[in-house]
Chain A
Amino acid sequence: MRGLSTREETSALIEPQATNAAHGSPPPLSTQFLPEKPVVIIEPSRKGAGLGLRDLWAYRELLFFLAWRDLKVRYKQTVLGVLWVLLQPLLMTIIFTVFIGFLVQVPTQGRPYALLVYIGLLPWTFFSSAVLQSGTSIVSNAHLITKVYFPRLIIPAAAVTARLVDFAISFIILAGLMIYFRAGLTAQIALVPALILLVALLALGFGMLVSALNVKYRDIGVMLPVVLQLWMFVSPVVYPLTLVPEKWRVVYSLNPVVGIISGFRSAILGDAFEWHALAVSAAVAIILPIYSAYLFRRVERGFADII
């Protein structure tokens, strides 16, 4: 109040052109419509902070822009650009086909090994790159976090979204392989979108979790590539699920990626689904993102202070 009274006396002296605003005779247009309730309340947040869904919705365009930036920059900086998205799983397929399919002779139940491994690599490449990139996204966007407000959840979500675009592109090669190997489609192909949704949710769940923890514990970001490498070998990526002995399959299927990758194979090649494994995947893909989002919201308040 002290500031107010002194200003009344002197504002005319110092800033003649500013007196309107200070004395309030004709208030500026924007101020006539001052809302009754605060637009924003800033308080130390309590434990049970919600997900801030309304804020996320308001900033939905930023999700698109950040994903777009990610793709644009990646494709601009490399000579081959978008071709890399196609080449990477293709090269991996060739390597695995030579070393595992040809030398180790993995049983494939009559399917061409190259096709089998490509279908495995398709969701796996998406999953691992999405987890890796969203997991490190908060730290690598530190400059944004310390300078401007927006719902932080958008950052890991945008990283997953960008990889989803790569994922979609890599289906082109799959179409080529399917034609080359004369593999027919069945009605089960209709389940692919649902599987894509599941793997995206799963990647988002892990990505949010890792990105939040990585701010405080940078070891996690360092460990992540190694963990993902190991994870690939305990998932049916370069071998079919049938290679795992029957009695171990229940334990093996606790890995939520198992159901999704074998599900992709079944949907595309028209085989029977491993419903147990798929049920585990679906449960984790629904519960984990919710848990991660709450955890993320709880720790995000400290991001700017410790990053």
Chain B
Amino acid sequence: MRPIIKVENIAKRYRIGASQAAYQTLRDTIAEKVRTPLRRLRSGGAGARAEESIWALSDVSFEIEPGEVVGIIGRNGAGKSTILKILSRITEPTLGRVELYGRVASLLEVGTGFHQELTGRENIFLNGAILGMRRAEINAKFDEIVAFAEIEKFIDTPVKRYSSGMYLRLAFAVAAHLDPEILIVDEVLAVGDANFQRKCLNKMQDVRESGRTVLFVSHNMTAVTRLCQRAILLNEGRVMEDGPSHQVVSAYLSSGLRATSSREWPDPAEAPGNGKVQLRSVRVRTEEGANADALDIRKPVGVEIEFDVLEPGHVLAPNYHFYNEEGVYLFMAAERDTAWRSRPRPAGRYKSTAWVPGNLLSEGTMVVSVAVSTPEPVAIHFFERDVVAFQVVDKLEGGSARGDYSGPMPGVIRPLLEWETEYTPAAGAGALSGGQTA
């Protein structure tokens, strides 16, 4: 069968200067033009700034057949979003060529172009047009969209009065009724409550069954394995694996591409954070203080964060988000140290460690995202996804929830529970056993 998407050796270079400064001022450009004519002449112009750029993608090729649903996975910065942006024609590749044999709709965020002041009805038309729908097409699907979003009563209310749930439902409803041959979706499922996510996943399943081609970027490994037959794993802008999604997902999870139990940002320019707070390091440690990749299921696991407060006077709470290898969100934990609760912090370095009790996590890989935020009013100073990961291992030495059982144990947590057992002898049995022992 002929492919519907043909990606040939695409590469994308970003200028670091451009991404950091966001834009240049006229003065800078003039100054630079005056300063660099000689350098430009010598090196032939274009290549002069090669050292100041990074390749977000290099030599990426793949083909996708009609009707395939393909997941694109990889850790942050692997080039996933860049690929989607190239395929949806938002940005151009630096090298290479892509051929698309069908109409493309891309959904890099829900509600692109929604305007707060406009009503639900008006936004459906506006958003539909932005996503490439014809007016006649929107008219024809209007009732369906409204019904899917469950906002019949509020259709003529400005969306600024919508709850966030209604807003998301409406935004997704418009996108879900696009009718392209190729659908490109980025992480939209990461928003909304569980109900909404389920609805989105079901809709995606419908899309798949209707024979459309879908490209889907996600951190949610459960969603990728469930929705996609095939997955492509990217690392540092290159294709690492391409094959059946469950194989690629498990290769990803075990490859150490994201499983590192300690991370440091020695260079403040690269550290996550804003002008107020900056991340220094995160590590997973044992009670004895050693760094650890694999931890005994019976022992507490310490997750330690070091961060600098650059601007004093903010109430801050570091918080952790634990996920398992399938991307299931296990729990969130925020610092509860009474010394710093509701108390503005002076500038300086802080180190906090949270202890996850032994016999709570299940076996397998746990992935931690970290953030530092201000609780009231809510402000997130940084939120770094999938920073560290560690293995939880049951050595089968007893003392864990397994007991003497060594087979597979399902479940996202594995607490060691207190069991109480009462025994009441059966009427006849007591006499019999009594008789035997006697």
The chain A residues found within 8 Å of chain B, CB to CB, are 2-3, 6-7, 10-11, 14-15, 17-18, 20-22, 24, 27-31, 34-35, 38-45, 59, 61-62, 65-66, 68-69, 72-73, 76-77, 143-150, 215-220, 301, 304-307
Alpha-carbon separation in the docked complex, A61 to B86 (Å): 24
A-chain residues with CB within 8 Å of residue B342 when the two chains form the complex: none
Segment from B126-134, B256-264, B397-405 that makes contact with A: B126-134
9 shortest interchain CB distances as A-B pairs = A28-B211, A31-B66, A21-B67, A38-B99, A42-B98, A149-B89, A65-B129, A40-B100, A3-B242
Question: Can you list 16 A-B contacts with CB-CB less than 8 angstroms, sorted by A residue number?
Answer: A6-B247, A17-B209, A18-B229, A20-B67, A21-B229, A27-B1, A30-B66, A42-B97, A43-B92, A43-B97, A44-B92, A65-B129, A72-B122, A143-B113, A216-B24, A219-B26
Write the nearest CB–CB distance from B99 to chain A, whole angstroms: 4
List residues of chain B with CB within 8 A of the CB of A145: 90
Residue of A nearest to B103 (CB): A39
Q: How far is the CA of A69 from the CA of B1 in the complex (A)?
A: 44
Q: Across the interface, which residues of B come within 8 angstroms of A40, CB to CB?
A: 89, 98-100, 104
A42 to B99, CA, bound (A): 6
User: In the bound complex, how far is the Cα of B163 from the Cα of A185, in angstroms?
Assistant: 56
How far does the Cβ of B172 sit from chain A's closest Cβ, in whole Å?
A: 15
**With an 8 A cutoff between CB atoms, is B29 at the interface?**
yes
Cα separation A45 to B96 with both chains bound (whole Å) = 11
When distances are taken between beta carbons in the complex, the residues of chain B under 8 Å from A307 are 22-23
Closest Cβ of chain A: how far from B391's Cβ, in Å?
Answer: 25
- Please give 13 more A-B residue pairs, beta carbons under 8 A apart, in addition to A40-B104, A304-B91: A14-B225, A14-B244, A28-B67, A42-B93, A44-B95, A66-B129, A73-B118, A144-B112, A147-B90, A148-B130, A217-B23, A306-B22, A306-B23
Nearest-neighbor residue (CB-CB) of B100 within chain A: A40
Cβ contact within 8 Å between A219 and B87: no
Instruction: Decide if B229 touches A15 in the complex (CB within 8 Å).
Output: yes
Given the contacts A22-B229, A31-B4, A41-B99, A219 and B90 also touching, CB distance less than 8 Å: no
Closest to A35 in B: B101
Chain B interfacial positions (CB closer than 8 Å to A): 1-2, 4, 6, 14, 18-19, 22-27, 29, 62, 65-69, 85-104, 106, 108-109, 112-113, 115, 117-118, 122, 125-126, 129-132, 134-135, 181, 208-212, 225, 229-230, 232, 242-247
Contact yes or no, B247 A10, CB < 8 A = yes
Give the chain B neighbours of A27 by CB distance below 8 A: 1, 66-67, 211
> In the complex the two chains form, is A73's CB within 8 Å of B117's CB?
yes
Which residue of B is nearest A65, CB measured?
Answer: B129
CB–CB A148/B117 < 8 A: no
Within the assembled complex, what's the spacing in Å between the Cα atoms of A150 and B87?
13
B18 touches A305 (CB 8 A): yes
Most buried by B among A17, A22, A42, A61: A42
Question: Given A150-B130, A216-B24, A11–B229 Cβ distance below 8 Å?
Answer: yes
Contact check: which of B94, B109, B181 meets A44 at CB < 8 Å? B94
A33 to B18, CA, bound (A): 42
Minimum distance in angstroms from A155 CB to a CB of chain B: 11
Q: In the complex, how many angstroms separate the beta carbon of A205 from the nearest chain B beta carbon?
A: 21
Compute how far the CA of A266 lies from the CA of B50 in the bound complex, rounded to whole angstroms: 58
Q: Which of B6, B99, B103 has the most CB of A within 10 A?
A: B99
Which single member of B97, B106, B246 contacts A148 (CB below 8 Å)?
B106
Most chain-B Cβ atoms within 10 A of its Cβ — which of A2, A7, A24, A41? A7
Write the nearest CB–CB distance from B337 to chain A, whole angstroms: 38
Q: What's the nearest-Cβ distance from chain A to residue B227, in Å?
A: 9
B115 touches A219 (CB 8 A): no
Residues of A within 8 A of B98 (CB): 40-43
Tell me how far the C-beta of A213 lies from the nearest C-beta in chain B, rounded to whole angstroms: 9
Among A3, A43, A143, chain B packs the most CB atoms within 10 A around the CB of A3
Contact indicator A6/B129 (Cβ below 8 Å):
no
Chain B residues within an 8 Å CB radius of A6: 243-244, 247
Q: Are A146 and B117 within 8 A (Cβ)?
A: no
**Cβ-defined contact, A146 with B90, below 8 A:** yes
Contact B134–A22 (Cβ < 8 Å): no
In the assembled complex, the Cα of A186 lies from the Cα of B1 at a distance in Å of 70
In the complex with contacts A31-B4, A44-B95, A218-B25, A39-B102 CB distance below 8 A: yes
- In the complex, chain B residues whose CB is within 8 Å of the CB of A304: 85, 90-91
| B93: A residues at CB distance < 8 A | 42-44
- Compute how far the CA of A175 lies from the CA of B18 in the bound complex, rounded to whole angstroms: 52
A28 CA to B214 CA, complexed, in Å: 14
Q: Within the complex, which residue of A77, A148, A150 is in contact with B108, where a contact is CB–CB below 8 Å?
A: A148
Task: Provide the residues of chain A in CB contact with B89, threshold 8 Å.
Answer: 40, 42, 149
| Contact of A45 with B92 at beta-carbon distance under 8 Å, contacts A6-B244, A148-B131, A217-B24 already known | yes
